[in-house]
Amino acid sequence: MDYKIVGKRVIVSFGQKCCFDCKYCYTFSKNFDNFTKRSAKEIFKALQKLDCKKFDTIYLSCDMEPFVNEKEAVKLIMLLSGLGKNIHFTTKKVLSKSTLNSLVKINNALQKKGCLLIPAVTIAAMKSASFLEPAPIPSVEDRINFIKTLSKCGFKVIFAMRPFLPVVGLEEYKGLIDLVKNDVACVLGGIFYFDSEGVIEGRIGCKINLCEESLMDFVDNYSKWYVYSGEKEREFVNAYCAKNNIKFFMRSKPAINYICGQFNSADE
Ligand code: SF4
């Protein structure tokens, strides 16, 4: 895959092997080809050539932790901010103080152009399935504190409790939301992709019966994948978010549209 535009979002990856070992991650399947490694400059040059009317958001990244190399990630975000688009990233890391300071400056500069730098912090489970996100992934507590820090720094933070997994107890989602409900702009769930060979099911230690076949619409990968759509989790989390007056989404684009809409209406 090069740079895929999906619903006004251009999806970007550094393409290095991810530094983490999330047990549910589809990149560990034989069906997933990691993208070619590329530098911040290469990515920026490629995006400059795209028709900028076709996208309003740049999304880093769907197949690795974008802050594996924090300096390179900041360099990329800084370059991309010159394109005058919203920039959205997902991370599992607790970023260093200097990285955070740079991101705050970029966010402030983007806001002057009517755009936002929107971080999403992912936590898939709390205690019942902590094996899913082993060290060196920062602990749940550290990531929760990082969400609070991002919020204090003026970011509209997406809390990504994704993907929804059958090995995570529903009450845990409630517990996680309680910890961050005053610090996040919205909550994001997500469906779970796994391979037909059973590699990912083996990694999470669970055979999944309730599943459907699907393609990945966010990358150019045409292998056969299964998905666990997490209907029961979706209903449960949606109801709990509604009770707490928090917006809940299953896809990142509507979440970004919601956050940008709020930002722009506050600006009028
Ligand atoms: S951080 Fe993301 S890409 Fe890396 S192993 Fe975890 S889910 Fe996969």
Average pLDDT, the chain: 92
**Residue 158: φ, ψ to 5°:** -95, 130
**Res 144: pLDDT:** 97
pLDDT at 247: 98
Beta-carbon contacts of residue 193 (< 8 Å; ≥ 6 apart): 26, 163, 200, 214, 216, 225, 226, 227
CA of 137 to the centre of ligand 1 (A): 10
Name the residue at shortest CA distance from atom 1 of ligand 1: 65
Cα of 177 from ligand 1 centre, angstroms: 21
Half-sphere exposure of 58 (CA within 13 A, CB side): 29
Domains detected in the chain: 4-267 (3.20.20.70)
Q: Whose CA is nearest to atom 2 of ligand 1?
A: 64
Q: Give mean pLDDT, residues 33-43.
A: 83
**What pLDDT does 267 receive?**
62
118 Cα to the center of ligand 1, angstroms: 19
Tens-digit pLDDT profile for residues 153-176: 999 999 999 999 999 999 999 999
Atom nearest to 137 CA in ligand 1: 1
Q: Which atom of ligand 1 is nearest to the CA of 19?
A: 4
**How far, in Å, from the CA of 18 to the mean position of ligand 1?**
6
pLDDT tens sequence across 223-249? 789 999 889 999 999 999 999 999 999
What pLDDT is recorded for position 1?
53
Residue 37 has a pLDDT of: 84
Centre of ligand 1 from the C-alpha of residue 109, in Å = 29
C-alpha to C-alpha distance for 199 and 127, rounded to whole angstroms: 23
pTM for the full model?
0.94
Instruction: Give the ligand 1 atom nearest the CA of 133.
Output: 6
> Which atom of ligand 1 is nearest the CA belonging to 90?
2
Q: How many CB atoms are closer than 10 A to CB 74?
A: 22
Q: Which two tokens stand for residue 220?
A: 């150019």
Can you list the positions of beta strands (E) in the chain? 4-6, 9-12, 57-60, 86-91, 117-122, 158-160, 186-188, 192-195, 212-216, 221-228, 248-249
Sign of the dihedral defined by the CA atoms of residues 154, 65, 192, 130, in that order: negative
Nearest CA to ligand 1 atom 6: 22
Q: What is the pLDDT of residue 2?
A: 67
Look at ligand 1, atom 8, and give the residue with the nearest C-alpha. 25
> What residues line ligand 1, using a CB cutoff of 6 Å?
18, 20-22, 25, 27, 63-65, 92
Atom of ligand 1 nearest to the CA of 18: 4
Q: Tell me the percentage of the chain whose pLDDT exceeds 70.
A: 96
Query: pLDDT tens digits for 178-209?
Result: 999 999 999 999 999 999 899 999 999 989 88
List, for residues 94-143, the tens digit of each pLDDT value: 999 999 999 999 999 999 999 999 999 999 998 888 899 999 999 999 99
pLDDT value at 65 more than 70: yes
Find the range with the poorest average confidence among 58-62, 70-74, 100-104, 231-235. 58-62
